A and B are shown apart, each in its own frame.
Chain A
Amino acid sequence: MTALHVLTLSLVVIGAALAVWFRDLLASVIALAGASLLLSLEFYLLQAPDVAIAEAGIGAALTAAIYILAIRKTRPKEEE
């Protein structure tokens, strides 16, 4: 059980580091959504399913959608 916690939290940290490291903004948002999804898995392992559902809905889906919409609106200005 402890190994599973360590693995999940390490993957969360790796996902967050990738979100900072990627130059492409779209790939960065996908990495952030993956880290958020793994964080919701960690909440589920800690027996907090309420928080897990909220984290998966808000953190993984809605935040990624809002970021993708913002990137789509501003992309041409950043490439110049």
Chain B
Amino acid sequence: MSVIVRTISRVVAPVALAFGAYVIMHGHLTPGGGFQGGAVVASVVALLVVAFGAERWKKWIKVLLPLEDTAALAFVILAFLGVGATFFRNVLAGSGGLFGAPVPQPGPNPGALNTAGTLPLMNWAVGFKVLAGLGAVVLLLALFGREDG
């Protein structure tokens, strides 16, 4: 692509990457979550592939596809954590450990990052799954076919 597209991509990509990480990380506090944040990060991948060409990112396929499988496995394992009561039981919520603090007060409140039990971990798992899956799909589609295209 042209110099204008590359320059704009260099400016936009880090900001969009930071926004996607924020959406995944604060999924249990603000609107958004794993799927939305992963889609934002995958759109950054698409922007880089369109702007800089797919050949440059070819070796990332070997990273993205195993990352997708690992994140899917992590999501299922997190769901199996609560199998003593029910599948998808939120065992970490309110236990006082990791992400185990209660909400500061019922109703509107500023929110604390260390709440919500397994929800932030599941957000991370689904976020990595979506960003790796959609990014790998875009990259594979860009690499497919003629080399000069």
Contacts and interface: CB of A to CB of B under 8 A. Distances in A.
A24 interface: no
Interface in A21-71: 49-50, 53-54, 57-58, 61-62, 65-66, 68-70
B138 to A, nearest CB: 6
B32 A65 contact: no
Q: Is the interface of B mostly helix, strand, loop or mixed?
A: helix
Contacts of A66: 46, 137-138, 141
Contacts, number: 54
Interface size range of chain A in the complex: 10 to 19
Interface size range of chain B in the complex: 20 to 34
Contact of A65 (B23, B49, B145): B49
B31 A50 contact: yes
A68 B50 CA distance: 8
A73 B149 contact: yes
Contacts of B137: 66
A53 B23 contact: yes
A62 to B, nearest CB: 5
B33 interface: yes
Interface of A: 49-50, 53-54, 57-58, 61-62, 65-66, 68-70, 72-73
